[in-house]
Amino acid sequence: MTTLSVSARPPSTLLLRAAPYAALACSITAFCIGTSYGKQLFPIVGATGTIAYRVGFSALILLLVFRPWRLSLTRADLFATMRYGVVLGLMNLSFYLAIRTIPLGLAIAIEFLGPLTVSLLYSRRPGQLAMVAMAAIGLALLLPLHESPHALDPAGVGFALMTGLCWGLYIVFGKKTTHLPGGQAVALGMATAALVVVPFGIVEAGATLLAPSLVLTGLVTAVLSSALPYSLEMIALKQIPANRFGVLMSLEPAAGAVAGGVLLGEILLPMQWLAVALVVAASAGSVLLGDAKADLPPAQ
């Protein structure tokens, strides 16, 4: 009896197997492009105005698609969903405040400390400590501890660390809503996030947010950086094992660095690239050494 080799498999089978990985790659690409595109709004409506567009439009899209009001919620579930949404909103807000002053790829690298910490708490293996130490070394290369060409703006680093903290809480609180329909939880969570962050944008940008050309740009930003990545990730999650998904997500800081360089002219120094590489390796290693609970789910 003969077996069918990988090279002899029908093209349709290979395409089906590749589809979820292509979806995840497109998700990461869309997020990085969408965030880079949205950053160009900063001089006009500020970081908070941009995040108001992104989260506000994303909430509207998710509410229209999933219509969460059709299903009832207990008081406990409503509280859990709103708590998840508040952290989601603060995470998005602090991330956009971070990338005002530090490059996109480096902000993503720093925020990965959040899920790394959660991973360590769920899996206390010796190898996990090594991964956290590797990430800490990468962070030390970026922190403004001394005057050097690769040191970053302290405020930007602080907001990126805040993003990481919120990402860690997002994972913990998000697990408390996993018994609910996914679309309902995410739609209500994003709506809560919008209630948290949109007022900041209104205060900073005011009526400028209503300019038709800016509204269109904000909508494109929301679709590329939130709605489209979320949809593609749902496709990928159904077929890619959790640990492999986490490893692939760990490539996001590098993708962000490339997108920032190409679209925003944010050229990283060799030491900063080394820092990104250390964080990517630590994130991937953390997932491989951990378990399903230590996965790195999408946050942005």
Q: Over 90: is that where the pLDDT of 1 sits?
A: no
Report pLDDT for 292.
44
Give percent of the chain above pLDDT 90. 25
Supply the DSSP string of 209-262, one letter for each residue.
GG-HHHHHHHHHHHIIIIIHHHHHHHHHHHHS-HHHHHHHHTTHHHHHHHHHHH
The structure tokens listed for 255 are 């993708």
Report pLDDT for 294.
46
Summarised one tens digit per residue, pLDDT across range 104-132 is 988 988 888 887 777 667 666 677 778 77
DSSP H helix total and E strand total for the chain:
13, 0
Please give the mean pLDDT across all residues of the chain: 82
Sign of CA dihedral 240, 111, 140, 143: positive
CB-CB contact of 105 with 156 (8 Å): no
Ranking 25-39, 46-60, 104-118, 145-159 by mean pLDDT, the lowest is 145-159
Report how far residue 148's alpha carbon sits from residue 145's, in angstroms, rounded to the nearest whole number: 9
Angle between helices 11-39 and 252-264 (to 10 degrees): 60
Read off the pLDDT band of 286 (50, 70, 90): confident
Summarised one tens digit per residue, pLDDT across range 237-276 is 667 776 666 667 778 888 888 888 888 888 888 888 888 8
Summarised one tens digit per residue, pLDDT across range 187-203 is 888 899 999 999 999 99
Report how far residue 117's alpha carbon sits from residue 122's, in angstroms, rounded to the nearest whole number: 9
Summarised one tens digit per residue, pLDDT across range 220-235 is 999 988 878 877 876 7
The structure tokens listed for 129 are 């400590």
Report pLDDT for 124.
63
Report pLDDT for 56.
94
| Residue 171, CA distances (Å) to 44, 115, 167 in order | 33, 7, 6
> Residue for token digits 């990988």?
6
Region class of 174: left (phi > 0), else alpha (psi between -120 and 50), else beta: alpha
H-run or E-run covering 264: helix 252-264
Average the pLDDT over 158-179 and give the result.
Answer: 86
Q: Over 50: is that where the pLDDT of 76 sits?
A: yes
Report pLDDT for 182.
66
> Residue for token digits 């997500």?
249
Contacts of residue 271, Cβ cutoff 8 Å, sequence gap at least 6: 141, 149, 150
